[in-house]
Amino acid sequence: MSEDTTPEIVLALEIDDPALADRLATLLGSVAGLRLAAAGETAAATVVARDPRVMPEDIALTQRELDVLALMAEGASNKMIARRLDISVHTVKFHVGSLLDKLDATGRTDAVAHAARRGVIEL
C-alpha cells in the first residue's frame, strides 16, 4: 500500500444533536485519510444520526397491517394487494383504514410517507 494516490475520504455530517455533531467533528477531523466535507461538497459517505424523538415506540401495527403497508409502499392498488395477500378488496380497505388511523394519515400516500419517516418501513 502506501500509495499517496489514495484520496482522502470525504465525510459529511448530518447529526441532529449538536453535542454529538461537535464531538464527531472533532474526532473525525483529526483522522488521517479522512476529511470532513465543506458546505455543499459531495461526500463519499455521510454520518447520520436522526433525532429519535420522532419515534417514541413502534406504532402498534398488526402483522396484516404491515403486509398491506409494505405493498402500499410498492405503489400497489387495493385490488393488487387483495390479489397478493389472497384476501378481498374489502378487507384490504379495512386494513388501509386502520393504517390511516394509526399513522395519522389522510391518504395512502401520506401513510407511506409517515411510515417511512418513522422507520416502520424501509423505502
Partner DNA sequence: CAGTTTCCTGGCCATCCGGCCAGTTTCGCA
Partner DNA sequence: TGCGAAACTGGCCGGATGGCCAGGAAACTG
CB 12 within 8 A of CB 37: yes
Question: Which position has the grid cell 397491517?
Answer: 65
> Using CA atoms, how far apart are residues 68 and 84, in angstroms rounded to an integer?
10
Question: Which position has the grid cell 424523538?
Answer: 53
Does residue 108 touch DNA according to CB under 7 A?
yes
Residue count, binding to DNA (CB under 7 A):
22
Element (H, E) at 81: helix 78-85
Candidates 45, 46, 62, 74; binder of DNA (CB under 7 A) is: 62
Candidates 95, 103, 114, 120; binder of DNA (CB under 7 A) is: 95
Does residue 87 touch DNA according to CB under 7 A?
yes
Does residue 85 touch a second copy according to CB under 8 A?
no
- Which of the ranges 7-15, 53-61, 62-70, 85-93 carries the binding residues for a second copy, by CB under 8 A? 7-15
Nine-digit cell at 60?
Answer: 402498534
Does residue 48 touch a second copy according to CB under 8 A?
yes
CB 73 within 8 A of CB 67: no
Does residue 107 touch DNA according to CB under 7 A?
yes
> Using CA atoms, how far apart are residues 14 and 85, in angstroms rounded to an integer?
39
Q: Which spans of this chain sit near DNA (rule: CB under 7 A)?
A: 60, 62-65, 77-79, 85, 87-88, 90-91, 93-97, 100, 107-109
